[in-house]
Amino acid sequence: MSHAESVASIKGTAGAQARRRRSRGPARYSALDIFRRGVTNSDWPRSFRQHDLAKSYDVVIIGAGVHGLACAYYLAANHGITNVAVLDKSYMGGGGSGRNTAIIRSNYLTPEGVRFYDRSVVLYQNLAADLNYNVMFSQRGHLTLAHTDASLRTMNWRAEVNKLQGINSSVIDAAEVGRIVKYLDVSDRPRYPILGALYHPPGGIIRHDAVNWGYARAADHLGVQIHQQTEVLGIETAGGKVTGVRTNRGAISAPIVVNCTAGWATTISDMVDVKMPLITHPLQAAVTEPVKVFLPSVIVSGSLHVYVSQTDRGELVFGASVDPYPSYSMRGSLEFTESVASHILELIPSIGSLKVLRQWAGLCDMTPDYSPIMGVTPVDGFLVDVGWGTYGFKAGPVSGEAMAQLIATGRVPEIISAFDLARFADGRLVGEKGAASVGH
Amino acid sequence: MILIDCPYCGPRNSTEFRHAGEAGKKRDVTTNDPAVWRRYLYQQDNPLGWVRENWFHTAGCRQFLCAERNTQTNEFRWVAPAGSPGPDGASGNGSAR
């Protein structure tokens, strides 16, 4: 059975025309509801259900992070395909989706990348209303500092590519940077003084857990089943075509299996012998104790290998480069804390007495060109949405939307056509390393 | 802090070293087929568990080393001069399960 035939059979069983539906559930959140429950002191219903594993599904999605959940939600909401299972070996949103630094932006380097990530920003802007869930998206602006002539040149390059695609992005000088962020040291005191910055006003931060939970709740209301603690042990194929998966809770038959496992992507793709040019690196982050809000925008410094933003609670969230060797270990290291602390004090000397509350790591599946790998594979019915490296969370909504469209129509949407797996054999790389926040 | 037991210098912090890719990876010099070259360039094993890989002691003896490391725990169980046959006698090809 070809992919198009599997799609036709799915549409038959779903018996629904592709149409946009609002997520309607038993408990629609509203201000009135908060008031009523506050007065009556009644419990909130669970936001998603638990199910027994069924014998078969139309689509099995491996990985219940933002990509898997968004894919499931858009399958149900945009295409009426609701017989979908999202499997996760651990808990929902516990991988990269709950470990990233929650920065959203679309100031990328290639036209393909800019168009793609900007669609994600647009979806994020409307996400709270679409999902009936407050995702706390704050478009507070995004500053990528330049400390050298070379980085200033890259910033100008990115700004021009961005403007051509209609993205609000421009290069500003050090004095302007100092007006936007009062506490930043824009003098010539530091070893690497700030020469200017790429300013991207639509960029900002979001509450990443709320995005995961919001997608999960909305998908659940539309009939999608989310199975946590359900590890995929193997993928069954027959005649070069996926027939189902084996899990620790039993076997499932399914004509379409989607790999949305980011850092663990190769452990899943190896099950069907689809070789991926991915290397898993940990990326560490840290957060300080909360202080009064003083940092108005997201600050990134590629030369100093650090980025920082302040949450609504007042904590400073730091991130840096990926660890310099492949690993699946999610332990923090002293070297990371030392490096981030010394570099951030070059930028913002006044936070020297702040204390680091905790640090953690997430796994990044790095591709050679820093662009994702999305779409079909040599195994019919085995689709991938991987290779996210350090860009995964930003791309969650657009990836889910595009993968759902691919599953429902059997055709690769134009917005992800440049990100196919075959590009590495053909030499059509989409070099996006220049848009990385920090040098990796 | 991760210690790597350098056969020349003794145990040193991993920050002194640079990871230098999977061990035993060789380019096929008998062909100039772009597809083969690109596979050599981009494709690498990415296993969860034991791997055999090369390291370079950048801030020490500046020698290449061969090591077996667990990618889940970062435990090193064997470090030797580059090109040494592994503890199992094989010259190694990345994953060492």
CATH number for the domain that contains residue A58: 3.50.50.60
Report the range of poorest mean pLDDT among A17-21, A94-98, A387-391. Answer: A17-21
Nearest residue in A to B43, CA atom: A277
Instruction: Please judge whether A328 and B71 are an interchain contact, meaning their C-beta atoms are less than 8 angstroms apart.
Output: yes
Of A339, A366, A393, which one is at a domain's C-terminal end? A366
pLDDT digits (tens, 9 = 90+) for A309-354: 999 999 999 999 999 999 999 999 999 999 999 999 999 999 999 9
| CA gap A219, A102 in Å, rounded | 21
Instruction: Please judge whether A280 and B46 are an interchain contact, meaning their C-beta atoms are less than 8 angstroms apart.
Output: yes
Phi, psi of B76 (to 5 degrees): -95, 130
Q: Work out the average pLDDT over A242-271.
A: 97
Tell whether A125 is covered by a domain.
no
pLDDT digits (tens, 9 = 90+) for A213-223: 999 999 999 99
A218 and A178 co-located in one domain: no
Tell whether A377 is covered by a domain.
yes
Instruction: Please judge whether B38 and A424 are an interchain contact, meaning their C-beta atoms are less than 8 angstroms apart.
Output: yes
- Distances in Å between the Cα of B54 and the Cα atoms of A50, B12, B41, B82, B90 are 46, 16, 16, 7, 15
Tell whether A119 is covered by a domain.
no
Tell whether A218 is covered by a domain.
yes
A314 and A260 co-located in one domain: no
Range of the domain at A151: 142-201+279-366
Query: With the CA atoms of A267, A269, A270 and A273 taken in that order, what torsion angle do they form, in degrees rounded to the nearest 10?
Result: 180
Nearest residue in B to A328, CA atom: B72
What are A's interface residues with B at a Cβ cutoff of 8 A?
264, 266-267, 275-280, 324-329, 331, 333-335, 368, 424-425, 427
Confidence of residue A4 (pLDDT cuts 50, 70, 90): low
Phi, psi of A288 (to 5 degrees): -95, 175
Tell whether A22 is covered by a domain.
yes
Residue B64: strand pairing partners:
B56
A153 and A224 co-located in one domain: no
Phi, psi of A339 (to 5 degrees): -65, -45
Note the pLDDT of residue A435.
82
How does the average pLDDT of chain A come out, rounded? 92
Note the pLDDT of residue A33.
87
Q: Work out the average pLDDT over A185-191.
A: 92
Tell whether A362 is covered by a domain.
yes
What domain count does chain A have? 2
A170 and A292 co-located in one domain: yes
A234 and A176 co-located in one domain: no
Closest Cα to residue A203, out of A173, A158, A164?
Answer: A158
Nearest residue in A to B55, CA atom: A325
A238 and A386 co-located in one domain: yes
Residues of A whose CB is below 8 A from B32: none
A272 and A283 co-located in one domain: no
Of A336, A366, A396, which one is at a domain's C-terminal end? A366
Tell whether A357 is covered by a domain.
yes
Residues of B whose CB is below 8 A from A323: none
Confidence of residue A10 (pLDDT cuts 50, 70, 90): low
| Domains along the sequence of chain B with CATH | 3-25+35-81 (3.30.2270.10)
Of A343, A366, A389, which one is at a domain's C-terminal end? A366
Note the pLDDT of residue A20.
40
Q: Does position A436 have pLDDT exceeding 90, yes or no?
A: no
Q: Work out the average pLDDT over A179-197.
A: 94
- For an interface test with A, give the residue of B16, B42, B44 to mutate (most A CBs within 10 A): B42
pLDDT digits (tens, 9 = 90+) for B53-84: 999 999 999 999 999 999 999 999 999 999 88
Confidence of residue A26 (pLDDT cuts 50, 70, 90): low
Name the residue among A278, A279, A425 with its Cβ closest to that of B38. Answer: A425
Q: Work out the average pLDDT over A238-244.
A: 97
Note the pLDDT of residue A86.
98
Q: Work out the average pLDDT over A407-429.
A: 96
Q: Does position A1 have pLDDT exceeding 50, yes or no?
A: no
**DSSP assignments along A4-25, one per residue:** HHHHHHHHHHHT----------
